[in-house]
Copies of this chain bind each other. A is one copy, B any other.
Amino acid sequence: MDSDDDSPFGYDAFRRTCPSHTVLEMLASKWVYLVVCALRKGRLRNGELARKLEGITPKMLAQTLRVLERDGLVRREVFPVIPPRVEYELTELGQNLGGLLTQIRAWAEQHAPDIKDARAKAIAVNEGDWAA
């Protein structure tokens, strides 16, 4: 395997045993992107997150928040009121990641038309294959 001068930190995400590879695995989730993006502007309650992330199931939201809390990206605060109030906010590390993920999200929004076109062309080519 060639050495990779893109990796000045002694870690190499191309190696499956490298801890950074498991960080990429954690990041490989649209819900991780969207929860981190949603929390960038400040703390939110569970229900507020659920409303903002269209289509997320309560189970998937809970699981995503648990992973983000475990990895030190999100802080969970429980207020001892009745009914209990739970709020989530990004840690400093989470804010740091949020800057990048917001760029990814902006890229997805900016280039969605290009990718839609490419997909339509790919379907047309496949249909051509069938017809041939």
Binding site for B on A (CB under 8 A): 1-2, 6-7, 9, 11-30, 32-34, 37-38, 51-55, 69-73, 93, 96-97, 100, 102-119, 121-122
Contacts and interface: CB of A to CB of B under 8 A. Distances in A.
Contacts of A54: 1, 14-17
A6 B71 contact: no
Contacts of A16: 54-55
Q: Chain copies in the assembly?
A: 2
A72 B38 CA distance: 28
A28 B36 CA distance: 14
Given A1-B52, A13-B105, A19 B72 contact: no
A19 to B, nearest CB: 4
